[in-house]
Structures are given as C-alpha cells and as structure tokens.
C-alpha cells in the first residue's frame, strides 16, 4: 500500500545525523508524501533550512514566536494537521524534553500539543544512549505510546562503537508505513518465536544454548515494518523489545508453546527460536549439592514439545505460511529438506552453525531458503538484512 498523499510533520533536531533527514525526505517525497519540516536551532547548525525546503517543496518552520509563521499556520494546527509526527534525528536532549513535557521551542511545543502518533529515531553518542537518564526517558516515552525506530549499532562519528547511530532512512520509512497501516502486510497477523529457551535443572541451574535472539527479533521487527500485527514470543535474551509489537517473555519450551497457542490465529508463523530439544525430567526443588565422595548427579531428560511442528500441523488453526529454521553443522541442504517435510512447514531457512561460522550469537547469517518447489542460496548478510528479505518474500505471498 502506498503512502501517497499522507502528511508527515518531520522534526529535525541537532546532531551529526541530521544530514540523513534529507535522504529521509527524498525517500518520502518519492512516494508523494507531503512533508512539513521543523528544524530546531541546533539542527540549523548541521543542515540548512534551505536544503530541507528544497527537498520538502514546502516552507520550513524554525521559530516558536515567528509572527509570519504563526499567521500562516499556528503551531497547534501544525501539530494536528499531520497524520504522523516523526523526529529524526531525535537527540538525547529532545527526548529528555519530550519526557519532561517541556515546550521551550517550536519542536518541543509541537510534540506536546499534538494529538497524533509520534515516531522518534534516536541518534546520539553510545554513552548518551546507554545513560540511565536516557534509558528512563525512553521507558517513559514508550510507556506513553511514543514509537521508536533504531538506533542502529555501529561505528559512530565520535570514533566510538555501539548503539546510537540513526536508523537508516529506508528503515524509518518502513516504520512510518507500519504506523500508518500502509504496509503490504497491513491487516495480517504474524507470530515469531525468538531466542533460546532455559530449561531448569534446579532453582539456580538451567540448560540453555548460544542463541542471541537477534535473527528472530529482526524478523519480528521487519514484519511489523511491513504493517503486520506481530506477536513476538521471546526466550531470555539481552535485547530490548522491538517497538510497535506485542512481546511475550517466556523461559521454557512449554511456556513458549503456550504463548504461541495464545497468539493464534495468525496468518504467518516464523519459528526462529532455538528451542531446547529436551528438558530435565524432574526439576529439583532445591539446589543440588555436591556430596563429598559421591558421583556427579545424572540428569534424566525428556523431549520438549516441537513448537514449529505443532503450529504447522494440518488443521483450522494452522497459519497460512509457517516458516522454520534449521540449524545444521553438516549436509545443510539435505537436512533442511528433510526437516521441512518432517515438520510440515512451508519454508525452512537453513543456516550453518558449525563452530567457526560465527552465526550462532553473531551478527551475520548465511541461509538457504528451502521450499517445496525450490532451494535458494542467499549471500552472507547482516541478520537485519536477512530479516528484511524474508519479510519481503512473505509479503509477496500475501500479495498474490
Ligand atoms: N523448533 C521448535 N520447537 C522445538 C525444536 C525446534 O519450534 N522443540 C523449531 C526451531 O524454532 C526451528 C526448527 O524447529 O525453526 C528447527 O530446529 P532445529 O533445532 O534446527 O532442529 P530439530 O528439530 O531440533 O532437529 P535436529 O535436532 O535433528 O537438528
């Protein structure tokens, strides 16, 4: 679905990433979105209002007390006439002002006066992003329904590395599309599992694996980015909840299955979780102690339910498209094809998790997409890119 004719009020605050706002405007204008830009005083230090004006093909607002601007369109009207307010880049300072409800310039006043949804794309130094003050502001803002896209992780202009880079403009456009309900998966429901499961041995010990949840979380975010209503069922991970979707936190495979069942019906299910295949038959109710001279304890294991196979089993509750992963260390294609048939899923993304591949817990993935009709080899890509490609492929199924 197109964004043509939608109205966006774009607030550009001051940061080195402000130049990327120009690319964002270019992408939006290419889709015939009407963009009205507001440039903060600090933003003006990084890009000119003339550039913004040329690209938006509309006057740029900068001043709260401009009589001329106020006579053309009052700032309250400005904050209400848009379909969505987008802050890109959103500095730590502007986020703090939003969290505190300050209105000491045009940008913060518009953000306080609006009755529309707000999407922020934070960009700042990694320490500022990780500072407890910024974390608390984000919790407060997201709790009030403000949507967040990014920041990305990577090298920064200040020569540091970490989260804090402005999300790439195409990702911001996708977030806008999703918020405006205009993506190709609008109206579709998706269920995604992600991360490891923890299977308790006793109150302090558990069986786990190296899954980071990065691939599953990225898929959930990419599907939401195309407009799907996504429930992400996540095992224990160190990742933040992606904004704009429903997240269910679980520990064990049994809890994951129950959360998946509760999220049905769904049109799409993607099982990216590295579910423990076995759990301890009987979890000890107390910490197992070392007894002097005694043999180490023997753990007796029982199989866990197979969530993917359960979701993919024929029946009225089966999502139209069920996708699994196959983590293999050898004979990738043959194992993946056999697994797809055995679990009755439509597609399998097979990845090589052999020691040295760097895939499990890493940032990149190299997959085969196995369907009944074909096997495709994808190049080694960042997990976010694998997620975007997969989401596009899923959208193509629902477009046909
Ligand atoms: N899966 C699941 N529930 C389980 C085990 C696996 O939903 N109890 C899903 C995973 O999310 C993944 C797919 O099944 O999408 C494949 O998991 P994998 O561990 O690679 O395969 P297994 O079924 O465990 O087979 P094997 O141990 O023979 O490799």
pLDDT per residue as tens digits for the range 34-49: 999 999 999 999 999 9
Centre of ligand 1 to C-alpha 348, Å, is 11
Distances (CA, A) of 302 to 10, 132, 152, 365, 387: 55, 43, 40, 31, 33
**pLDDT score at 116:** 86
Q: Do domains 7-182 and 189-281+294-399 have the same CATH topology?
A: yes
- The answer to whether 234 and 195 are in contact (CB under 8 A) is yes
Counting ligand 1 atoms within 8 A of each CB, the residue from 330, 339, 341, 365 with the most, and so the one to mutate, is 339
* pLDDT band at residue 64 under the 50/70/90 scheme: low
| pLDDT one-digit tens code per residue, 331-376 | 999 999 999 999 999 999 999 887 777 777 678 888 999 999 999 9
Residue 392 clears pLDDT 70, i.e. is over it: yes
Ligand 1 lined by 24 (C-beta under 6 Å): no
Centre of ligand 1 to C-alpha 286, Å, is 30
CATH of domain 189-281+294-399: 3.40.50.10300
Question: Domain extents for the chain?
Answer: 7-182, 189-281+294-399
What is the average pLDDT across 218-239? Answer: 92
* pLDDT band at residue 159 under the 50/70/90 scheme: confident
Ligand 1 lined by 325 (C-beta under 6 Å): yes
Overall fold of domain 7-182: Rossmann fold (3.40.50)
Name the pTM for this structure: 0.70
The answer to whether residue 260 is catalytic is: no
**pLDDT score at 32:** 95
**Tokens 């990694």 — which residue?**
126
Centre of ligand 1 to C-alpha 214, Å, is 17
What is the average pLDDT across 276-298? Answer: 92
Residue 133 clears pLDDT 90, i.e. is over it: yes
Counting ligand 1 atoms within 8 A of each CB, the residue from 234, 308, 360 with the most, and so the one to mutate, is 308
- Tokens coding 276: 């423990």
**Tokens 């001043």 — which residue?**
63
| pLDDT one-digit tens code per residue, 91-132 | 999 999 999 999 999 999 999 999 888 999 999 999 999 999
Percent of the chain with pLDDT over 70: 96
Give which of 240, 237, 310, 302 is closest to 276, Cα–Cα.
302
What is the average pLDDT across 229-245? Answer: 89
Residue tagged active-site, from 158, 260, 271, 345: 158
Centre of ligand 1 to C-alpha 201, Å, is 21
């Amino acid at each position: 679905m197109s964004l043509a004719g939608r109205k966006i009020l774009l607030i550009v605050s001051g940061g080195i990433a402000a130049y990327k706002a120009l690319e964002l405007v270019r992408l939006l204008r290419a889709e015939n979105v009407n963009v009205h830009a507001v440039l903060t005083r600090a933003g003006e230090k990084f890009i000119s209002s003339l550039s913004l004006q040329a690209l938006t093909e509309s006057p740029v607002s900068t001043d709260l007390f401009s009589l001329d601007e106020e006579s053309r369109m009052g700032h309250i009207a400005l904050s209400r006439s848009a379909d969505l307010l987008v802050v890109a880049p959103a500095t730590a300072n502007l986020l703090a002002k939003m969290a505190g409800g300050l209105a000491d310039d045009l940008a913060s006043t518009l953000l306080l006066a609006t009755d529309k949804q707000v999407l922020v794309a934070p960009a700042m130094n990694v320490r500022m992003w990780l500072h407890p003050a910024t974390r608390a502001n984000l919790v407060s803002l997201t709790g009030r329904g403000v949507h967040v896209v990014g920041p990305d992780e990577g090298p920064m202009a200040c020569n540091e590395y970490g989260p804090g880079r402005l999300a790439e403009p195409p990702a911001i456009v996708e977030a806008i599309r999703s918020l405006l309900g205009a993506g190709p998966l609008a109206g579709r429901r998706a269920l995604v599992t992600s991360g490891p499961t923890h299977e308790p041995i006793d109150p302090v010990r558990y069986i786990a694996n190296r899954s980071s949840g990065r691939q599953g979380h990225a898929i959930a975010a990419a599907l939401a980015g195309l407009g799907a209503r996504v429930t992400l069922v996540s095992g224990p991970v160190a990742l933040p909840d992606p904004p704009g979707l429903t997240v269910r936190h679980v520990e064990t495979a049994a809890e994951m299955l129950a959360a998946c069942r509760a999220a049905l019906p769904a049109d799409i299910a993607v099982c990216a979780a590295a579910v423990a295949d076995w759990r301890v038959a009987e979890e000890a109710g107390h910490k197992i102690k070392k007894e002097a001279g005694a043999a180490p304890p023997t753990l007796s294991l029982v199989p866990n339910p197979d969530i993917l196979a359960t979701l993919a089993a024929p029946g009225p509750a089966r999502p139209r498209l069920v996708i699994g992963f196959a983590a293999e260390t050898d004979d990738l294609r043959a194992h993946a094809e056999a697994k797809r048939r055995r679990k009755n899923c439509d597609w399998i993304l097979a990845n090589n998790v052999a020691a040295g591949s760097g895939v499990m817990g890493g940032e990149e993935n190299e997959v085969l997409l196995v369907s009944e009709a074909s096997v495709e080899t994808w190049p080694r890509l960042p997990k976010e890119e694998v997620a975007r490609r997969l989401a596009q492929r899923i959208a193509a199924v629902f477009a046909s």
